[in-house]
Amino acid sequence: MNDQVTTLNHSAGYGISQEERHKVLRNTYWLLALSMIPTVLGAWIGVATGITQSLRGGVGLIVFLGGAFAFMYAIEKTKRSAAGVPVLLAFTFFMGLMLSRMIGMVLGFKNGTDLVMTAFAGTAGVFLVMATLASVIKRDLSGMGKWLMVGALVLMVGAIINVFVGSSAGMMAISVAAIGIFSAYMLYDLKQILDGGETNYISATLALYLDIFNVFQSLLALLGIMGGEKD
């Protein structure tokens, strides 16, 4: 998903002032923090009601991809209007709802709560490392974009195939690859903001949110497969 968003995001030209770049980064961080509220709410509702439990296999894939891309299209169309933030927050609620099935499965383990918290802490750690690297690396990383896009597309195809194959080994491999690819995307997207390549904070928030979502989801899947303790 993030490959499409990143392609859309980086159409703005470079050359804005340092003050404007910091403003975009500040607004992005605020909106990113705000977006976690509907995400948690969506995940909680999904786990509490079990509303997403029927979304398995191809049906779940169609609902997830269809909903996600429809929201991303709407965000792109409204990012320069007053509707941009509400549409983005509605998207993050949807993503939380879609994530609830995996969270519910992990919470079914004896150590499920610990696994969820570990995935959360690991994702926060990755973000902190990438934010630090983005602030100290001076070279232009815009060339990474095309390689990350290819990696994300290959990853998406592999993930879609594995939905129907149902291989645990395949899920582990995909999760490890996703953590690497979307951690690198995190660095790339943060560097784009700092270098002035992204000037719209709603687009910037969407890109970083997807990076964080994918890293968290992949960490959670990996921890569930490798460390889940049954009663």
In this prediction, residue 23 carries a pLDDT of 92
User: CA–CA separation, 142 vs 139, rounded Å?
Assistant: 9
pLDDT digits (tens, 9 = 90+) for 209-223: 999 999 999 999 999
Sign of the alpha-carbon torsion through 173, 184, 122, 57: negative
User: Helices 84-107 and 18-49: crossing angle, nearest 10°?
Assistant: 50
Structure tokens at 208: 């970083």
Angle of helix 168-195 relative to helix 112-136, nearest 10 degrees, comes to 30
pLDDT of residue 7: 37
Predicted confidence at residue 215, as pLDDT, reads 96
pLDDT confidence tier of residue 5, bands split at 50, 70 and 90: very low
pLDDT tens per residue, range 142-169: 888 899 999 999 998 998 888 888 788 8
Q: Is the pLDDT of residue 91 over 90?
A: yes
For a pLDDT cut of 90, what percent of the chain falls above it? 64
Q: Which residue has the tokens 């994918």?
A: 214
